[in-house]
Copies of this chain bind each other. A is one copy, B any other.
Amino acid sequence: MAHKRDSRHPLREICRTAARVFYDKGYDGASMQDIAEAVGLTKAGLYHHVRSKDRLLFEIMNYGMDILDEAVISRVRDIADPRERLRQTITGHIDLVVRTRDLEITVILHENRSLKGELRRRINARKQEYIHLLERTIAEVQAGTSVPPYITPRLAAFALLGMINWLYQWYRPDGPVKEAELTEAYVGFFFRGLLGEN
């Protein structure tokens, strides 16, 4: 299968294609040769861009976190109202997970058993940063209301991540539930769960 390569971002294009191969064959089942063929490079050409299969997995995960940064975090950072910031974070994150294009990267991002040592620590540090951002925003939302904190920001953040990251298991954009309906339902559910308000 031939893919048009993005000459400005060759590594990103390699990551997208390699993510599909890992998704289909499993990380352990896919060889660097399989990936080179899918990308349309020789094996030597592939090793020119990325020096090992480990490193390639790291680059895919790092790319997944870059997308989260660009598509979600950087767009909400300057919203002053914490409720609106949280609402847009949820909306953006859902959109990222359900966009078919990035499905494989999203899935692989959570299979970090295969990544070891220092590379694993670096990905986990980026994930922790996002969790802390969610926790701080949730705490701000709680502080701005008169209701008691029913749940710790940390548990609420993980409940939210579970709701959103689990979407890849069941949600289909061409199914009966449109993304706007899903997003509204999830945002409403989360805010009620957090604040107990209708």
Contact = CB atoms under 8 A, between A and B. Distances in A.
List the number of copies, as a whole number: 2
The DSSP consensus for interface residues of chain A is helix
Given A26-B27, A194-B189, A196-B197, A158 B166 contact: yes
A69 B30 CA distance: 35
A80 interface: no
A110 B192 contact: no
Given A28-B25, A113-B23, A177 B155 contact: yes
A28 to B, nearest CB: 3
Nearest to A177: B155
Contact of A162 (B113, B167, B194, B198): B167
Interface of A: 23-30, 110, 113-114, 147, 150-152, 154-156, 158-159, 161-167, 169-171, 177, 182, 185-186, 188-190, 192-198
The 7 nearest A-B residue pairs measured at CB? A28-B29, A162-B166, A193-B193, A26-B28, A196-B198, A189-B193, A162-B163
